[in-house]
Amino acid sequence: MAQRKKKDKAKEAGKIDMFRLAFGEEFMHQHADQIITDHNLAIVELIANTWDAGV
């Protein structure tokens, strides 16, 4: 049982490492800087995404 937990933890750590490789630390600022810094634009995007989702 303890061996399985160790394997699961190692597997999760690998997933986290893959995510770090897939997205750099500056990803959000490079691709979504305006949404992060401009609250009005963030609200507009939220409404637009809600509309697109059909809610």
Read off the tokens for 53.
Answer: 């989702």
Pair 29, 36: CB distance under 8 Å: yes
The burial class, CB within 10 Å (0-12 / 13-18 / 19+), for 43 is exposed
Q: pTM of the entire structure?
A: 0.47
**DSSP label at 38?**
-
For residue 26, what pLDDT is reported?
A: 83
Confidence of residue 2 (pLDDT cuts 50, 70, 90): low
Mapping DSSP to helix (H, G, I), strand (E, B) and coil, where does residue 16 land?
helix
pLDDT tens profile 6-54: 666 666 666 666 655 666 778 878 888 888 889 999 999 999 999 999 8
For residue 30, what pLDDT is reported?
A: 84
Distance from the first to the final alpha carbon of the chain: 44
